[in-house]
Structure 1
Amino acid sequence: MNSGQTVTSTWRNALRYLPFVALAVSALVALWQSYRAHRTVRETHPPAELNLPKTVPHVSIIVPVRNEEATIDVCVASLLRQDYPDFDVTLIDDGSSDATPHLLAAWVRRDQRVQVHRVDQLPDGWAGKSHALHTGVTLTCGEWLLFTDADTCHAPQTLRLMVGHALGQQDDLLSTRMTLMTLSGPFMPLFMSITEILLAHRMTPAEVRNPASSCAFAFGQYILLRRAAYLATGGYAAANMHMTSIEDLALAIHFKQHRQRIELVNGRGLITNRQWTTWKSFRQGWERGTYGELIRSHIPLVSLPGGLAFIAYGLLPPAVLLHALYAGKVRRFSTLLAGIVLLAQIDAKRCFDREYDLAFPWSLGASVGWVTCGILLLDVGRLMLTGRGANWKGRQLVLFPGVSSVV
């Protein structure tokens, strides 16, 4: 056998064992995901029911709004029903072109606690939501600030519980995890928990609370923070914060870097959120966040190998099991590994599906969720390579090494 034949034989043997190696790695990843998912759910506690002081701090609620005619009335009505005694609501109209401005004007006439400020032109060097939130900070005077989204609905006790918890725990930033979402269509129930699993990879609530840990996270649907802490860190006015398209994560990391105390609590029963009701809005929302996170992490092109890895992770286990079932060729160890991967994927997804009140059959679609995630990640890579950027609410976000602009 000559050297060429030896090399060919070596490659052939390596390729023969590649599926087995991929299954073994997938099994380790899936078991780790299952462990992290259970730990995340276990560590996510509801806000403690603590007594408020006699003189409560004034809270300024800031809601960035852009073309939210379908949801804004429900949101504002729920905010004004809060049983907390001292707050106001500032609505930042970020250039809405639908009926939103008329709806906002009606709320100003209806309740003196509401004010509206319209941003007609986004300044150069700013992302829309970051600018809207910072504008709201400059227009208000509350000792505490609440950043919340226009597609949320708040139970009456939410602000009282959250402020009481933040004061009792001496938090500088308090956010909610596992907000009950309205999951419309087939994509959100299949995919939402996959996002939660990916987040559990990077942090758990206990790690976020730990001052010694660099782990930080916040969910943009509900971020309660001390004004003094926001101003001390520079908030979105800091030079590296203007352009962030993942304003919630960026703010949490920014606070943690400045040694501010961050905490996540369970928002179930307190806040509901309606978003991504169509495939288009789902894809754009997911790609916007992923696009911004990859740029922030300085690893933009990881989306290409990452997307392929997610697709393989979703397809390989069921493919091996189906091959064993229909071809009658059962390689016991490979089949066992495939079964372990599939069961662990389902278990991890089920952890979060229960939090969203999803029936068990949705958890069986874990593999489909991972494949969908991979396809979307590849599409993010396409947006980066072509320089097209991610689209969100009519604005084109283009962020590539050396280039930063919002159109």
Structure 2
Amino acid sequence: MLVIYSGILLIFLLFTILNSFFMPKLKPSALKEIPSVSIMIPLRNEERNAEELVHMLKKLVYPDLSFYLLDDQSEDATRSLLEHHIGKDVRFTLLSGKKLPEGWAGKVHACHTLSLNAQQEFLLFLDADVRLHPEAVDNAVAMLQEKGGALLTGFPRFPVKYLMEKWLVPMQHFLVYFHLPLFLANYTFFPPATAAHGAFMLFRREDYLEAGGHESIKASIVDDVHLAKRMKDTGKKVLLANVTDFVTCYMYTSSKEAWNGFKKNIFPGFGRSLPVTFALCLFYACFYVLPGVLFIYGIVHFFAGQSFSLFMFFPYLIIVLQKMYIDKCSNQSLLLSFSMPFSGAAFIVLMLVSMYTALRNKGYEWKGRTYS
């Protein structure tokens, strides 16, 4: 039985490796032309990021850039810090967010407001906690030109510091490389095979507007995926690329923040489907938590001098290799792969808590706002 079980896990590993071949990697490329690009960033209570964000933007080497920053009713020193560090740089436009209208999610409305002000040929939406390589914009525009896409997005590199970050944040890459059929995602217009990360989304402005922009998904709290699906629904090509060499995202500043951030997205991200959520909980318990239990069981029997099968160790080793391969692809610390059973267990609990919160209509709290 353990041989069959290990064989199934080995198939998962091999599929992950094969699937990764259909994820194009952002790399240094020559521009065919130099279209104008606007970088648009909503900020709400982002005083910890304001200074470094502005300095990073000023270091970008793309020759035709404009920056639109929206202070979305921040209650801290975000705006004053932005004004100080922007100085007299005329490439920057600092906007003020207004009261959130009924029926809109906060970030979606902020991005919509930003899009109304930008007239450039390409629109790049970033989060305030993103840091770009100086040549990131050049290479992203070149890839979009080369592939003939309307939207280029990708999951950034995620440096992690806190325990819950280490267990949960790298799981974003794991879900993409393992669960998303990347051939369908990148080479078809099949909406269910879609993933995106709102921290880095580069649009051709014309295609963005034709698809309805952020206004078309105004109530979404999983706006990145829903907007990418909207692009496909309207016949636009979406590219999901490995951008980890050029885009870094410092998502959270504590384990609690990481937990709350994922809690608001995970169940809505599964379409609020109970069958999907329960199926994934069972799947991860069987294939990504149980190997850790078997490994501990084998260790205990080994030191107790009792007979045991070496196959007790194989399932754990295989899931570690699978996670390690994905961590290598995504520029993550390879040491985190050894804690995969803990990541699986945390992911299960997170799914259940997110589902429970939604079913009890308690709402998800984020950035001082509550979403249903």
State how far apart, in whole Å, the 2-side matches of 1:300 and 1:124 are.
28
Q: Which runs of 5+ in 1 are unaligned?
A: 1-19, 399-407
Report deviation, 1:264: 2.2
Among 373, 383, 396, the residue aligned to 2:347: 373
Worse overlay, 268-277 or 117-126: 268-277
Equivalent residue letter for 2:220: T
> Contact 1:126 / 1:243 at 8 angstroms: preserved in 2?
yes
| 1:31 aligned partner | 10
Q: Partner of 2:128: helix, strand, or coil?
A: coil
> Contact 1:208 / 1:264 at 8 angstroms: preserved in 2?
yes
| 1:320 aligned partner | 294
| 1:166 aligned partner | 144
State how far apart, in whole Å, the 1-side matches of 2:127 and 2:24 are.
22
Report deviation, 1:132: 0.9
> Contact 2:176 / 2:195 at 8 angstroms: preserved in 1?
no
The aligned runs of 1:144-293 (5 Å cut-off) are 144-177=122-155, 179-211=156-188, 213-214=190-191, 215-238=193-216, 241-293=217-269
- Residue by residue over 1:204-248, the C-alpha shift from the partner in whole angstroms, topping out at 9 and shown as x without a partner, is 44332212544222221211111111111112212xx11111111
| 2:74 aligned partner | 96
- Residue by residue over 1:175-228, the C-alpha shift from the partner in whole angstroms, topping out at 9 and shown as x without a partner, is 134x22221122323333333222234424433221254422222121111111
Over the aligned positions, Cα root-mean-square deviation in angstroms equals 2.5
> Contact 2:267 / 2:273 at 8 angstroms: preserved in 1?
no
Report deviation, 1:51: 3.3
Report deviation, 1:393: 1.5
Identity of aligned residues (%): 24
Number of residue pairs aligned between Structure 1 and Structure 2: 367
- Residue by residue over 1:279-327, the C-alpha shift from the partner in whole angstroms, topping out at 9 and shown as x without a partner, is 1111011112203213xx2414643564355345444233334445528
State how far apart, in whole Å, the 1-side matches of 2:28 and 2:262 are.
34
> Contact 1:41 / 1:351 at 8 angstroms: preserved in 2?
no
Q: Partner of 1:182: helix, strand, or coil?
A: coil
State how far apart, in whole Å, the 2-side matches of 1:305 and 1:208 are.
22
Change (3 A) 1:85 1:195: closer
| 2:31 aligned partner | 52
Change (3 A) 1:96 1:39: farther
The aligned runs of 1:357-372 (5 Å cut-off) are 357-372=331-346
Q: Partner of 2:93: helix, strand, or coil?
A: strand
Q: Which runs of 5+ in 2 are unaligned?
A: none
**Does residue 389 of structure 1 match 2:363?**
yes
State how far apart, in whole Å, the 2-side matches of 1:37 and 1:375 are.
24
State how far apart, in whole Å, the 1-side matches of 2:284 and 2:163 are.
19
Q: TM-score, normalised by structure 2?
A: 0.89
Report deviation, 1:348: 1.4
The aligned runs of 1:103-122 (5 Å cut-off) are 103-122=81-100
> Contact 1:33 / 1:197 at 8 angstroms: preserved in 2?
no
Among 354, 375, 397, the residue aligned to 2:328: 354
> Contact 2:42 / 2:107 at 8 angstroms: preserved in 1?
yes
State how far apart, in whole Å, the 2-side matches of 1:25 and 1:393 are.
47
| 2:54 aligned partner | 76
Change (3 A) 1:269 1:135: same
Change (3 A) 1:83 1:315: closer
